[in-house]
A and B are shown apart, each in its own frame.
Chain A
């Protein structure tokens, strides 16, 4: 049934994706039955650092069912260079260490792909892996980023003169003057770990090679199909028209599926060599050791405030664990550094960021992309300021907050592209006020005292955040009404579970007044649309959403104009309703979209009605020159057990402002999912290695993800401050829930254990670490 009446924007609509997924009829990468496909398994480095001298695959090649065992030297003839051309430039980079398809003469982390077996089945391919002999000379490994930058540290890569792979600084205002006049200076050091993406579906690639068309089709659950294609074109040196990258249903992304991994080149290259279709599905252990993710940051910081707790300046150093190469540029630590300021006025700031090469799997953003760490540093310091100055935690934040009258607020920070980081809209004090009210902040001391009498230690935490969303430069969308009446939307946006297709359908239905069932969305297919990006930086509602919205408006205008010609009526007297252009108030006098589309599809030898251009369609590349900033406040209630260090979360409240909301159900789901991700990063998730760089947590028995009984009920309250930067007024929503969670939870735990004087700095906050903090404070 076609929705009618007032705007659909802001309405809760069920998703178009759900039907097949609920019936087990999703089409995920491992569900695709590729005719004749051979199966690939990767031999991976068993050591963190070593010189690769020889690969003896003779026994593996002799195993029945094995078609090939390939190393770097085998693949190199079909590649344009030794390294994978990533093309994410930055002046901050001292050494270019683009990844390599298979290790050439050096292995630099446990899990690095060294050789690939191609066999009749995955089982046989794995049997063959055990028969390959590697001749390796083990080298000293860099397993700590701070130690890795010290004089005399071993080199993480033999081809780099030292481990400082990149450096950046953020520097504005008279920092020395600020510290000279400060009433209080607060120093703190933070060692912040953040774990991996851990989509429940691992990575996977299937390559079809068509000998008739001489084309390669790469099915991969990537967040960025167009970028993957661009890299493949450059790395394989073959024309755009011969490569198609298409993402099937994808079981979660969260960042790691945005980076281009070596396997994504190894399979197409091997398919070209062997002229056979190939398939590789990552197993979970491989995902732990070889999929990119975030890891450690060491922040050594000092804040200067006046007697009233107003910030005067912040300075310090950030040492970032980069891993052994650069798969996705150098944005991660810079995001962390720029996001420190959050919703606050920070008059002076100096941060030196040092990126250290280590012998671990390379780092790249996971949901939140460094911002949770940056916000954590600011919020922990503000709690310390409140304590030092003797004011409440909410008051110290109010005193430092950017006021709505200051919007748009140009921060003194320069972004990656050199432009000024400018907050476009939002009411931060009101957001915090609503959160405090919903969280029962004023009454909490009484509840806390009562609980204390009953032997329980409960605490309430508070944290704010701001997030840059909707990163450009653009996203593409095409909308076409076929002569059948079916509407097809194509877009460079891609979907990993965010409800991207539903969001686009809702926007198109809103303009065209058609039923959701009449629209099909093709997302994440380079054959669907020539240019595009995909999913990163909470951007698709902003960029693809506005593109589809504008394309739908263009199609509506064209439909009315054409119908006016067809019906010999005036366009002003017509309206688009229920899938047809009708005379206002006379519903039976109409032309359906199908009829209109048919009319301007053209008939040989006849002119189009009224001289309109052919096709009931429009294409829009929506440019997003400036980022739009969403914001919010988190309140967390936690209970701590001072005898064991165990923490339980009791309640969680989010007041969230992502501008105008398209579908509140989907936004709620994005926020609660991201909060759970933040809870994991705070309390449970810890990818551990030993001092030789051997991973210690490669199962979900040892690497703990948040579960339904450790994530509390989450209450989401929406504020809507539309951004002036795009016609829909929307901002991104998908990552922000992660950003304040670590700070809010830790603030709650400190509050619960206030009588012990506990100071928490490092993440994750495991029970053992908390007990140690309690004992250290006592």
Chain B
């Protein structure tokens, strides 16, 4: 790693003041699990890092009420996984975290960082999008709200300004909705996925009243599968319908090729996993592999 300076502000407001919208060599660092990797490989060479580890403790807390969960952006994924409240209000998050990378990453990585990084391979963005989560974002001009769905602008790109920080994630209570996150890892369970599909469904044993379907990893960014959703909404689920939904999902996505698979292969996976994720959600199944 090349030399850099480090600032350790003790408040979020102070941190934002240290950021410069026009200087890409100044960046905030939370858990640093992704950023450190980029710095070590020379992909990112900062002049100055703004550490968020010493800002107010309230940004590392989880609050729960009937409205859902309010998760401070500096909450580690490990704390989220071990929280007693999360499985009550959003059990899909707890289940997803168990196979999200591995424990030593979850212990350090933060939910805010996992979103702000804009990495399409992450597991939480599609899950949070499927759950309809929204963000509180703070910048020099104050605070704004943004659905997670509108955060991602492209491959490793978000709509955040360089002097804006996510302060909180609000996850509406899952309630009676059923959810599943299915991912394909071509190596071990904690390998980066080739595809992730999150499904959150309102309905009964056979009928889908409404649903949100989100794909990631195979795509340039976490992506709502709106064509597939339109096909399935208000319908009784059949194998044939699910097959059609899988085919339709292809049109919603911008696929990317990598060592885990070519674009044609990821298309095939998408067809299969849209079906499996919807089926899995309706049957109350977890999904990995």
Contact = CB atoms under 8 A, between A and B. Distances in A.
Interface of A: 123, 127, 130, 285, 643-644, 646, 648, 684, 686, 688, 696-697, 699, 701-702, 704-710, 766-768, 771
B128 interface: no
B268 A644 contact: yes
Interface stretch (B146-154, B171-179, B257-265): B257-265
Contacts of A766: 186
A275 B191 CA distance: 46
A127 B186 contact: no
A705 to B, nearest CB: 8
Contact of B192 (A701, A705, A767): A701
Nearest to B102: A707
Interface in B36-55: 41
A646 B186 contact: yes
A648 B191 contact: no
Contacts of B189: 709
18 contacts: A123-B1, A127-B2, A127-B3, A130-B2, A644-B184, A646-B184, A646-B186, A648-B289, A688-B259, A696-B259, A701-B191, A702-B259, A704-B186, A704-B187, A709-B188, A767-B265, A771-B265, A771-B268
A701 B289 CA distance: 17
Nearest to B269: A644
B272 interface: yes
Given A702-B258, A704-B188, A707-B187, 10 more contacts: A130-B2, A285-B41, A644-B268, A684-B187, A701-B192, A704-B191, A708-B188, A709-B189, A768-B265, A771-B268
A646 B289 contact: yes
B242 to A, nearest CB: 12
Contacts of B192: 701
Nearest to A285: B41
A696 B41 CA distance: 14
A701 B3 CA distance: 26
Contacts, number: 49
Nearest to B189: A709
A696 B260 CA distance: 12
Interface in B1-42: 1-3, 41
Interface of A is mostly: loop
Interface string B241-270: 000000000000000001101100100110
Nearest to B268: A771
B272 A767 contact: no
B280 to A, nearest CB: 14
Contacts of B262: 768
Contacts of B41: 285, 699
Residue among B187, B188, B189 with the highest chain A CB neighbour number at 10 A: B187
A283 to B, nearest CB: 9
Interface in B147-197: 184, 186-192
A697 B189 CA distance: 19
A130 B1 CA distance: 11
A387 to B, nearest CB: 27
A754 B104 CA distance: 41
Contacts of A708: 188
A710 B187 contact: yes
Interface string B189-227: 111100000000000000000000000000000000000
Contacts of A707: 187-188, 190
Most-contacted residue by chain B among A643, A648, A697, A708 (CB, 10 A): A643
A679 B127 CA distance: 33
A684 B259 CA distance: 11
Given A127-B2, A644-B272, A648-B289, A767 B261 contact: yes
Contacts of A686: 259
Contacts of B1: 123
A706 B186 CA distance: 11
A552 B189 CA distance: 49
A293 B275 CA distance: 42
A732 B83 CA distance: 52
3 shortest interchain CB distances as A-B pairs? A707-B188, A704-B187, A768-B265
A767 B289 contact: no
A697 B187 CA distance: 14
Nearest to A775: B268
Contacts of B184: 644, 646
B125 to A, nearest CB: 18
A549 to B, nearest CB: 42
B191 to A, nearest CB: 6
Contacts of B268: 643-644, 771
Contacts of B259: 686, 688, 696-697, 702
Contacts of A646: 184, 186, 289
Contacts of B272: 643-644
Max chain B Cβ within 10 angstroms of own Cβ: one of A285, A686, A705, A767:
A767
A768 B257 CA distance: 12
A248 B77 CA distance: 40
Contacts of B2: 127, 130
B25 to A, nearest CB: 16
A767 B187 contact: no
Nearest to A688: B259
B261 A768 contact: yes
A767 B272 CA distance: 14
A701 B268 CA distance: 23
B246 to A, nearest CB: 10
Contacts of B188: 704, 706-710
A403 B241 CA distance: 59
A82 B112 CA distance: 56
Nearest to A704: B187
A644 B268 CA distance: 7
Contacts of B269: 644
A766 B289 CA distance: 14
A696 B258 CA distance: 10
A128 to B, nearest CB: 12
A706 B191 CA distance: 11
Contacts of A697: 259
Contacts of B258: 702
Nearest to B42: A130
A715 B186 CA distance: 25
A127 B42 CA distance: 11
A82 B186 CA distance: 45
A544 to B, nearest CB: 36
A684 B185 CA distance: 11
A204 to B, nearest CB: 19
A123 B41 CA distance: 13
A768 B262 CA distance: 8
Contacts of A767: 186, 261, 265
Contacts of A709: 188-189
Nearest to A769: B265
A613 to B, nearest CB: 59
Contacts of B187: 684, 704-705, 707, 710
B247 to A, nearest CB: 14
A462 B41 CA distance: 43
B69 to A, nearest CB: 30
B155 to A, nearest CB: 17
A710 B41 CA distance: 28
A266 B272 CA distance: 54
B256 to A, nearest CB: 14
Contacts of A768: 261-262, 265
Contacts of A702: 258-259
Contacts of A696: 259
A708 B188 CA distance: 8
Nearest to B45: A130
A697 B192 CA distance: 14
Nearest to A686: B259
A90 to B, nearest CB: 36
Nearest to A685: B187
A648 B188 CA distance: 10
A708 B262 CA distance: 27
Nearest to B261: A768
B100 to A, nearest CB: 15
Nearest to B271: A643
A708 B190 CA distance: 11
